[in-house]
């Protein structure tokens, strides 16, 4: 065994591996599969998504070791193995520790015929690597759908943000137009009021001049009358 395959596994990393291994879809793909390299590769990819970088050799050797530990605990009757319950849920119902871990050193089904309809191990959706590819495709399709939904949500939020921004700009523009319109109306009202005041002042000035001219004419007429009377008196004083 190479040093690379003996890389240290923490308890959380081991639990993550066993959770992936115990998945119902993974177990279905491993049942009856002679060459489970695709299943192991799938586990490697799922671990990578969790930030755990391992090779197929490391995963295979770790699963082999976990099977041996489970078998030992199962035979001795001791339940202090921290992952016993998790592994027993999968292997216990199969009658012991020889359940499928995908780590058989010498697969016994290399020359075995494919399962046929009617066999207990036969299913229409899980039989060999091709079925695993379909299962893996479904998993990736669901992940792609989730990413698509996330992208749709982001696009919706982006569109809403853009609409809100445009609405704010429109609102500000409308307020600016209203302010300019009100300012223009105030300027026009002030100009009209000034014009009215000028006209009123001019009218009053014209009336005063007309009044002064009328008084001047009256004074001239009165003075003319006095002059005529004076002339008459000077000519004939007895006329008085």
Share of residues in the chain with pLDDT > 90 (%): 22
Pairwise CA distance, residues 84 & 78, whole Å: 10
Please say if the pLDDT value at position 32 is more than 80: no
The pTM for the full model equals 0.42
Pairwise CA distance, residues 115 & 96, whole Å: 23
Stretch 189-213: mean pLDDT = 89
Stretch 81-85: mean pLDDT = 88
Stretch 177-188: mean pLDDT = 88
User: pLDDT tens for residues 90-127?
Assistant: 887 665 444 445 444 434 443 333 343 444 443 434 44
Return the structure tokens found at 168: 């704010």
* 52, 14 contact by CB (below 8 A): no
Distances (CA, A) of 133 to 28, 143, 210: 12, 15, 113
Return the structure tokens found at 95: 């009658």
* 44, 59 contact by CB (below 8 A): yes
The ranges assigned to domains in the chain are 1-100, 153-237
* 5, 57 contact by CB (below 8 A): yes
pLDDT of residue 104: 43
Burial 7-34 (b: 16+ CB within 10 A, else e): eebeeebbebbbebbebebbbbbbbbbe
Distances (CA, A) of 73 to 18, 70, 82, 105: 17, 5, 11, 21
Please say if the pLDDT value at position 128 is more than 50: no
pLDDT of residue 133: 59
88 vs 30, residue with greater confidence? 88
Query: Cα Rg for the chain, rounded, in angstroms?
Result: 54
* 60, 2 contact by CB (below 8 A): no
């Amino acid at each position: 065994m190479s040093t690379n395959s003996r890389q240290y596994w923490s308890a959380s990393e081991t639990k993550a591996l066993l959770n992936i291994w115990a998945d119902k879809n993974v177990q279905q793909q491993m049942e009856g599969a002679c060459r489970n390299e695709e299943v192991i590769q799938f586990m490697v990819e799922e671990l990578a998504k969790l930030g755990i970088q391992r090779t197929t050799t490391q995963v295979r050797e770790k699963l082999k070791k976990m099977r041996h530990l489970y078998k030992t605990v199962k035979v001795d009757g001791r339940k202090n193995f921290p992952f016993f319950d998790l592994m027993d849920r999968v292997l216990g119902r199969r009658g012991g520790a020889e359940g499928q871990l995908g780590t058989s050193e010498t697969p016994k089904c290399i020359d075995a015929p494919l399962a046929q309809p009617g066999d207990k191990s036969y299913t229409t959706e899980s039989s060999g690597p091709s079925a695993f590819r379909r299962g893996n495709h479904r998993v990736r399709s669901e992940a792609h759908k989730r990413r698509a939904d996330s992208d749709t949500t982001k696009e919706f939020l982006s569109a809403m943000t853009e609409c809100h921004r445009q609405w704010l700009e429109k609102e500000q523009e409308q307020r600016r137009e209203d302010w300019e319109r009100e300012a223009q109306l105030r300027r026009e009202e002030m100009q009209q009021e000034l014009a009215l005041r000028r006209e009123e002042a001019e009218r009053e000035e014209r009336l005063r001049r007309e009044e002064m001219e009328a008084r001047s004419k009256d004074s001239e007429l009165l003075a003319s009358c006095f002059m005529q009377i004076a002339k008459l008196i000077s000519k004939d004083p007895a006329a008085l």
